[in-house]
Structure 1
Amino acid sequence: MAINFEKAFGIHQHTLGVRSRRTEVLAGNIANADTPGYKARDIDFKDALQNAKSRSGVFLERTHSSHKSAQSFSMAQSGELFRVGNQPDTGDGNTVDTEVERNLFMKNSMEYQASLDFLNSKISGLRKAIKGQ
């Protein structure tokens, strides 16, 4: 009997990728907190998860057999959006609020760990079932 990983892992296999991408975006915001004109970004988790589940994107055409196949995602397709700042403009056009970014980064990290723990427990259960324990 074959194991259907889609049923076994549910949505959590897709959430890891989206949470990982969101970690990169939030880290970029923190790193650019003092960059003039930088606009804070975030990912619309629901849209990004839907895209990850459907594996939609723009497929790049290979013009030569030695070229590697790849996918390209625009900012909108990945669910990445600019965040409206909640602090007054300091004159440099930067919309990053480091406290907000740190809190979102920590929350995202905890949610990533929760999905990882869930997947680990599912994999552990599958291993026991395969071994007959």
Structure 2
Amino acid sequence: MFNKLTQRLEMQGNALLLRAERQRTLASNIANADTPGYAARDFKFADAMRAMNAQQEAGSNGPSAQLGVRTSDPRHILPESRISPVGELGQRASALAYSLQSQPSLDNNSVDMDRERAALVDNTVRYEATLRFINGQAKTMLGAIQGQ
């Protein structure tokens, strides 16, 4: 029964981890916009989310099992440095891929600032929406527990 209560929150938590990782990836692309030869990176959120959900259905128990960290209780908090869904889960979830270059540049840098900014804003809005959904779910569960 506990799993039924937290299943949707767990999925949204995974989405939040992936959104944060995508935010770091996009920020890295923007930071390296003037680096000669830099190849922009990104990953498909939907594919990564499907892979994470498939891992959980296959028997993983939460983020600690996905990251290879052993804990004595699934409620333990993971060390901050170990939470990197694409970095450490890259082989199992969804690996970073190179972005397609839309306009060739003389220094072989594939960062398209307009595309990166648009992707960053879109990801930020979706991150905020995921946070609001988690907050709403938590308030709903708290209201049900308190009998309101």
1:23 aligns with 2:23: yes
Match of 1:38, SS state, is coil
Cα distance per residue 1:1-33 (max 9 Å; x no partner) = 646301x42632221111111000000000000
- Find the counterpart in structure 2 of residue 66 from structure 1: none
Match of 1:99 among 98, 107, 114: 114
- After TM superposition, give the deviation of residue 52 of structure 1 in Å: 2.5
- Find the counterpart in structure 1 of residue 76 from structure 2: none
- Find the counterpart in structure 1 of residue 40 from structure 2: 40
- After TM superposition, give the deviation of residue 90 of structure 1 in Å: 2.0
- After TM superposition, give the deviation of residue 107 of structure 1 in Å: 0.3
Tell me the TM-score normalised to structure 1 length: 0.78
Cα distance per residue 1:41-88 (max 9 Å; x no partner) = 11111221123222586859xxxxxxxxx794446843311010111x
Tell me the TM-score normalised to structure 2 length: 0.71
- Find the counterpart in structure 2 of residue 5 from structure 1: 6
Runs of 4+ in 1 over 6 A off after TM superposition: none
The verdict on how the C-alpha distance between 1:58 and 1:12 changes in structure 2, with shifts beyond 3 A counting, is: closer
Larger Rg: 1
Match of 1:96, SS state, is coil
The aligned runs of 1:38-77 (5 Å cut-off) are 38-53=38-53, 54=55, 59=68, 72-74=88-90, 77=93
Report the RMSD for the aligned CA atoms in angstroms.
Answer: 2.7
Extract unaligned runs of 5+ from structure 2. Answer: 61-65, 70-81
- 1:18–1:52: 8 Å Cα contact kept in structure 2? no
| Structure (1 or 2) with the greater helix fraction | 2
Counterpart-to-counterpart distance in 2, 1:73 and 1:45: 13
The verdict on how the C-alpha distance between 1:110 and 1:9 changes in structure 2, with shifts beyond 3 A counting, is: same
Range that drifts further, 11-20 or 47-56: 47-56
Match of 1:95, SS state, is coil
The AA in structure 2 aligned to 1:113 is E
Number of residue pairs the alignment of both structures matches: 123
